[in-house]
Structure 1
Amino acid sequence: MNFTRVNAISDPLFAGLHKLMSEIFPPEEVLAFDLWKEPLEDPGIRVFVAVHEGEVVGATEYRYYPDWNVAMTDFTIIGREGLGIGRFLAQNRMKDLNVLAAENGTQLLGMFAEIYDPYRADYSFGGIKPMDPFVRREVLSHLGYQRIDFPYVHPSWQGDGEAVSGLDLCFMPGDDEMSHIPAALVADFLTRYYSVLPDKPKAWEDMVAGLRMWESVALLPL
């Protein structure tokens, strides 16, 4: 299995990646095919696929922010059972991030991720069992992610200004003893991360403004 970066929508591997995304995630979470042109060409956005016998069987997108020394896992997709794809992607992603942090002269502070909460809402997506929302949530917990303790919404990736709920924003600290995260870091990260979407729902704006009034936010078990 190969861990291969995708940099353009013209790359034949991208068609397989977009097909996987469309099968796994709900429509409001999937950017249209053509709109991927700029993100893939952005050097700060790292999109890698797991290629097995010429077929895209998994993928992960993530990014590293050197000024904050944190990363964000945009998504992890497993397209087939029984190949160890999840571990393969997680290990190669962390190796890459550790190199980026080392080039920045430090060790990674931690990594953000959004995760669906199937205990609050019924999600009928996932395609195969490893992508079931209950399984994905438990996998993130095993990896070390913790729930950031605040009510979370995010803007729809369909660009319609709607608020998407039923998710948690999580953080996997590099230090297991870390019990809180600076609220300003969370607010700044979300502001930059969603700057690509011009229409933000009021619920999201209010959430970010609320974070800026706090000093820190607790990290709780998933």
Structure 2
Amino acid sequence: MEYIRITSIEDPLFAKMHDLMKEVFPPEEVLEFELWKEPLEDPSIRVFVAVKDDEVVGSTEYRYYPDWNIAMTDFTIIGRPGLSLGRFLAQNRLKDLNRLAQENGKELFGMFAEIYDPYQLGDHEFGGVKPMNPYVRREVLSHLGYKRLDFEYVHPSWKNDGEAVKGLDLCFMPSNDEVNEIPAQLVADFLTTYYAVLSNKPQAWLKMVENLKSKQTVELLPL
């Protein structure tokens, strides 16, 4: 299996990755093909695919923020069971991030991720691929070391319609297992930067960020 970066919608592997996304995710969560052009060309956004026998069987998108020495996982897609794809993607992603942090003269502090909480809103179906089931994914991410940040989380809808989306937790995987809290200002700054592309923020999100700015730290809780 190969771990290959995609930087253009002209790459034949991207068409295969996009088809996989449409198989796995609900239609409203899949960005249109042409709208991927700029994100793929952005050097700060890293999109990789797992390729086996010339087929895209998995994918992950993530970012590294050198100023804060943290990363964010946008998504991880497992398209086929029985290939240890979760570990393959996670291990290769971490190697890549550790290299980027080393080039930045540091050891990676940790990685954010938004993780579905099916216990909040019930089950979510993801294309019938069992490893993508949110109960399974949540447990796997807990095994990887992700912890839930101790505040009620909402995020702005990617439709930019001003709606607040619930049903997810903002989580953080510290590189050092003994870390049990992180600076609240880091969380607020990260969220403000990450969602800067959306102009229409819901009031619930703005209030959440302001509340974070009033705190010193945010505790990391078991996932």
Global fold match (TM > 0.5): yes
Is contact 2:110–2:174 with CA below 8 Å preserved after alignment? Answer: yes
Partner secondary structure for residue 148 of structure 2: strand
User: Which whole-Å CA distance do the structure 2 matches of 1:104 and 1:176 have between them?
Assistant: 22
User: Which whole-Å CA distance do the structure 1 matches of 2:79 and 2:36 have between them?
Assistant: 20
Is contact 1:108–1:174 with CA below 8 Å preserved after alignment? Answer: yes
Q: Given residue 109 of structure 1, which amino acid in structure 2 is its aligned partner?
A: F
Does residue 140 (structure 1) correspond to residue 141 (structure 2)? The answer is yes
**Structure 1 residues 145 and 126 mapped into 2: Cα distance closer, same or farther (>3 Å)?**
same
User: Which whole-Å CA distance do the structure 2 matches of 1:96 and 1:133 have between them?
Assistant: 25
Over aligned residue pairs, what C-alpha RMSD do you find? Answer: 1.1
Is contact 2:115–2:168 with CA below 8 Å preserved after alignment? Answer: yes
Partner secondary structure for residue 197 of structure 1: coil
Is contact 1:64–1:97 with CA below 8 Å preserved after alignment? Answer: yes
**Structure 1 residues 164 and 215 mapped into 2: Cα distance closer, same or farther (>3 Å)?**
same
- Structure-2 residue corresponding to 1:161: 162
Q: CA deviation at 1:202?
A: 1.2
User: Which whole-Å CA distance do the structure 1 matches of 2:9 and 2:207 have between them?
Assistant: 35
Q: Given residue 31 of structure 2, which amino acid in structure 1 is its aligned partner?
A: L
Q: CA deviation at 1:210?
A: 1.0
Q: CA deviation at 1:191?
A: 0.5
Which has the larger displacement, 205-214 or 25-34? Answer: 25-34
User: Which whole-Å CA distance do the structure 2 matches of 1:30 and 1:210 have between them?
Assistant: 31
Q: CA deviation at 1:156?
A: 1.4
- 5+ residue gaps, structure 2: none
User: Which whole-Å CA distance do the structure 1 matches of 2:202 and 2:21 have between them?
Assistant: 24
Is contact 1:148–1:169 with CA below 8 Å preserved after alignment? Answer: yes
Partner secondary structure for residue 72 of structure 2: strand
Show CA shifts across 1:182-210 (max 9, x none): 10000000010111112211111111111
Is contact 1:30–1:157 with CA below 8 Å preserved after alignment? Answer: no
Q: CA deviation at 1:57?
A: 0.4
User: Which whole-Å CA distance do the structure 2 matches of 1:152 and 1:171 have between them?
Assistant: 13
Q: Given residue 5 of structure 1, which amino acid in structure 2 is its aligned partner?
A: R
With the length of structure 1 as denominator, give the TM-score of the two structures.
0.97
User: Which whole-Å CA distance do the structure 2 matches of 1:176 and 1:29 have between them?
Assistant: 32
Does residue 109 (structure 1) correspond to residue 81 (structure 2)? The answer is no
- Structure-1 residue corresponding to 2:79: 79
User: Which whole-Å CA distance do the structure 1 matches of 2:107 and 2:202 have between them?
Assistant: 35
Does residue 46 (structure 1) correspond to residue 46 (structure 2)? The answer is yes
User: Which whole-Å CA distance do the structure 2 matches of 1:161 and 1:37 have between them?
Assistant: 25
Which has the larger displacement, 63-72 or 10-19? Answer: 10-19
**Structure 1 residues 9 and 161 mapped into 2: Cα distance closer, same or farther (>3 Å)?**
farther
Partner secondary structure for residue 112 of structure 1: strand
The count of corresponding residues between Structure 1 and Structure 2 is 222
Is contact 2:118–2:124 with CA below 8 Å preserved after alignment? Answer: no
Is contact 2:153–2:170 with CA below 8 Å preserved after alignment? Answer: yes
Partner secondary structure for residue 124 of structure 1: coil
User: Which whole-Å CA distance do the structure 1 matches of 2:161 and 2:22 have between them?
Assistant: 18
Show CA shifts across 1:146-186 (max 9, x none): 00011111111222222110000000001111111110000
- Structure-2 residue corresponding to 1:195: 196
Q: CA deviation at 1:106?
A: 0.8
With the length of structure 2 as denominator, give the TM-score of the two structures.
0.96
User: Which whole-Å CA distance do the structure 1 matches of 2:53 and 2:123 have between them?
Assistant: 31
The percentage of aligned residue pairs carrying the same residue is 70
Q: CA deviation at 1:16?
A: 1.7
Runs of 4+ in 1 over 4 A off after TM superposition: none
Q: Given residue 199 of structure 1, which amino acid in structure 2 is its aligned partner?
A: N
User: Which whole-Å CA distance do the structure 2 matches of 1:64 and 1:211 have between them?
Assistant: 22
